[in-house]
Every structure is written in C-alpha cells, then in structure tokens.
Amino acid sequence: MTQKNKKYYLGIDIGSISIKTVIIDEDENVLHHSYERSDGMPVKRLKNRLSKIKPEYIKNVAGVGITGSGRNLAKVYVGADAVIDEITTQATAVLSKYPDTKTIIEIGGQDSKIIQLQDGVVRNFAMNTVCAAGTGAFLDQQASRLRIDIKDFGDIALKSTEPTLIAGRCTVFAETDMIHKQQIGIPVQDILAGLCNSLAKNFVQAVAKNLEIKKPVIFQGGVAANKAMIKAFSTFLDTDVIIPEFYNVMPGIGAAIMAKEKNPAKTAFKGADFIEKDIKKKVWRCNDCANECELIDVIVNGEKLSTTGSVCGKHNS
C-alpha cells in the first residue's frame, strides 16, 4: 500500500477534566497520543489537540471513534463513526494488547472503575462517581496542599519505611487525618505512603465490593503514573499489577480500534478545523429521590445532546 493510500483511525476520549487523542494505523500501532486538561473549555481544547496531529494522519483518517462523558458533544463538532461508552473502550484497548486480562482497575481524574473480563468480554463492572477519594483530582489536591509536585508524589511516598494509617473512605476524613498526622510530626513520606495504601484498600472494599479481582490485573488511568499507588495495589492484591505503555489514553485507543473495526465506507470526520457552534446550558433539578441532583443539559443549535450531574446515573447520557 502506498503512503498516499494509508489509512489512519482517530480515537477521542473527552472526559470530565481532560481530553485525549489517539491515532492508530491499520495494524493498530499507536502513532500519536496526547493528553490535555480541558480547563472548562472542552471544545476549544479538543480543537487544539487535533491541530497538533500530523497533517498526513488527519488527511487520511478513515474512521473516528469517540468515548468519554462528553462524547455526544464531541460527535457534533468532529463527526464520528462510532460513539462508545468508556467501559467498552477500556476493555477493547486492554484486550488488544493483553488478551488474558481478567481485571481492569482504572482511576482517572474524577472517578474510578473496576471491569471484570471473561473469555475476552466484559462480564461485570462497577464505578465510583459519588466520592472523589482516590481519584486523580483528590491526589492533585493533597499534593498541592503539601506543596509537592504531583509528579514527585510517588517517589516521595516510596521513601517511606513506616507508612502511617490514613482514613481513606472519604475525602473529608482522609484530608482531616492527613492534617492531624502532620501536626503530630509524622514525616510527609509516611503520610503519602499511608494515603496510597488506604486508597488501594478502599478501592477494593468500596468500589469493587463483592467483585472478585482475578489475575492478571491491569492498572490504568492517570493515577497509574503514581509509583506508590502501583506498589499499594500490588501489595494489597498480592500480585504485580500491569501498567500498559499508554496507560493514560487507553479509552482513546479502544475508540480508535472500534472505529477501525466498523470500517465505514466513508468517514463522518469533519476535519481538525471543525466549525464551532453555539453551546447553551440549561440547569435544572431532579426531585425523583433524596439526592435532588442539580443537572445540566448541553444544548447545541437547539438540540439537547447530553445531561450530566446525576449521582445515580439516571439522567446522565
């Protein structure tokens, strides 16, 4: 096949706090991957991400897959051949590289997930979207409070020889406990190591609950960059958890693979220089239960694309 006729597939993961883009070729090799925080401007950041991809890839995109909480919004702007939920894209990406995987642990900026696999398909999954304990945003917050660069968090924690006990079931309790331990003179490395141990334990007990964590175990998402969290999970689960090479963009890889598998006769991709449209938001409250969630409808050119903010997930789309 000549260079001119090469086909590439674009995967986009547009989440609550970040945007990831991936380009794969027909052999599912990752040729490009990027990660950028959305900073409350997902459409602008997405356009910026696409502009950084090589023109050769963009001109020869043969399929686009989009995933993440903002997938319906991104579809309108970019055009998509496949719009897929995050559980499916996570599993697709992992199984393409690690076909024997039994369990996926994914911890991102705002939520965490566990996915059970059997015979190459998703058998069960659970998510934690109510409390941020253990997520990337919580760890960022604690690093900032301690005046530590989040990139150094794991290395500092690994220096600990006596990790202290930290309450990890709730962000408020965890932070209160950390402050108390600081006040009584516990070294920072012991506090950080204790926090990682507590969060790994809490994930298994609160997120996984009754789900059996079978081996091999893949650990991915932004928090998988934290070496101390890797050690904590490996110790608590009594196994070496596997960190994929592209651990922070796996849903984007899965979306690109699924776009390739769909093999559209003509892609719906509108190009990197897509036209920005008028976005409106409508805020309303659901009174169907005691949560009384404040919900946000995203409306583009008069069409409601998605609703977010539902604790139980009833209205999220």
Helices and strands (H and E) in the chain: how many: 10, 12
Q: 118 - beta bridge partners?
A: 121
- Please compute the mean of the pLDDT values over residues 210-238 and round it to a whole number: 94
Question: Residue 75: CB partners within 8 Å, gap ≥ 6?
Answer: 66, 83, 305
Q: pLDDT by residue (tens digit) across 63-94? A: 999 999 889 888 988 999 999 999 999 999 99
Which is nearest to 49 in space by CA: 86, 28, 23? 23
Q: At 187, phi and psi to the nearest 5?
A: -60, 150
Which is nearest to 34 in space by CA: 55, 56, 16, 10? 10
- Residue 101, CA distances (Å) to 218, 241, 298 in order: 7, 11, 37
The structure's pTM equals 0.86
Q: pLDDT by residue (tens digit) across 82-131? A: 999 999 999 999 999 999 999 999 998 778 899 999 999 999 999 875 66
Task: Give the residue extent of every domain in the chain.
Answer: 3-89+251-262, 99-243, 279-308
Alpha-carbon distance of 242 to 230, in angstroms, equals: 9
Q: What is the mean pLDDT of the chain?
A: 89
Which structure tokens are listed for 293?
């969630």
CATH topology agreement for domains 3-89+251-262 and 99-243? yes
Q: Packing angle between helix 42-51 and helix 71-78, nearest 10 degrees?
A: 50
Looking at residue 68, what DSSP letter applies?
S
CATH of region 3-89+251-262: 3.30.420.40
Q: What is the predicted pLDDT for the residue at 127?
A: 86
Question: Does 305 or 272 have the greater pLDDT score?
Answer: 272
The proportion of the chain whose per-residue pLDDT surpasses 70, expressed as a percent, equals: 94
pLDDT band (50, 70, 90) for residue 1: very low
Residue 203 carries which side chain, given as an amino acid letter?
F
Q: Packing angle between helix 188-202 and helix 171-183, nearest 10 degrees?
A: 160
Residue 116 CA, distance from chain mean position: 17
pLDDT above 60 (res 3):
no
Q: What is the predicted pLDDT for the residue at 2?
A: 43
Burial class (CB in 10 A: 0-12, 13-18, 19+), 148: middle
CATH for the 99-243 domain, from 3.30.1600.10, 3.10.20.30, 3.30.460.80, 3.30.420.40 = 3.30.420.40
